Chain A
Amino acid sequence: MRDVVDAIDTWQQRGERVAIATVVRTLGSSPRGVGAKMVVSDAGNMAGSVSGGCIEGAVFTACQQAIRTGQATLMHFGVPDESAWEVGLACGGTIDVFIEPLGTSE
């Protein structure tokens, strides 16, 4: 979280809405550990990372959806899946990522 706080501050000062993606579980080889974060704004900005680049695209899309719907969701990446936003991991591990919108009201 420490590495993405500045980005969140900057975006919120511009009035952008934000979603946070967090690695909550890893199995096998994975480039980022539990707790790694990526943040995305509705204006299309992103900071931080949740993998070596293999799932950032899908996580970016899910974050933008979370901002629109206000819903938090748990995503699983690993074994290739039929569903639209799940992708396989080249490194062979599996990663669970929790996606949540950052609230704008008290």
Chain B
Amino acid sequence: MKQFGILLLALCMGAISSCRKDLGIKCKSFTRVNVTNVIGTSAFHLDSTHTNAAGEAYHAYLLKYYVSHMSLVNENGERVELYGHELIDQSVPSSMELGDVEIPDGHYTALEFNLGVDSLHNHSGDQAGDLDPMYGMIWTWNTGYIFFKHEGYFTSSTSGTEQPLIYHYGTDRALAPVSLPLDLHVDNNSSVIQLQFDLNKLYSNPNVVAFTGNNNHQSISTQDIPWINMLRANFPNAFSANAFVFLVE
């Protein structure tokens, strides 16, 4: 709480001295990451019907995942960590706006993060913030976080009937590092990074994951391991990032 107070004070001082670019007074540069879930070029919506690469119609009533240690990397390879562990929940719009972070000026060429919870945080429920167990993203009988949860229904390609889909992706082996190219010049300016997650790419690039006969994976048996390996390989290709700079008057 004390540190938070100091932070507030620092912010306050910054506001009082009010940067003036025209007078050469240094401004603080902030960036923020906003996340959007998409299907190709369309927005993803819960309970809307989409079609995956295997040609199966599906809809999700729940889509949640953790991104951790999201960092900007500059052209010299130096990292600035923006966030710790963040839970993205399609049903909670505020969870998809990760908030302002002050960053040093520089030319940033990559956005890097993990899909999932790092192994230091993955084995205890005694945690707060987005890792609070009340978000239902933890296995309570075998302490570990569910990194990615997609629950919904799909139309079976063999029977033509609608069937449930439960994908609970996790365990340490499932942590998926993601590195996305970016071109962000920060010099006395603030910026927004748009991070997109394409659910259909998760199920197709490069490994095509069909739901029929493959609709219940909870990362609890050895039979789930090939599925984990396929998704882990796909996750880096399911994300993309673009940066936009605000000009400060």
Whether A and B are associated in the same complex: the answer reads: no
Where the two chains meet, the residues of A that have a C-beta atom closer than 8 Å to any C-beta of B are none
Where the two chains meet, the residues of B that have a C-beta atom closer than 8 Å to any C-beta of A are none
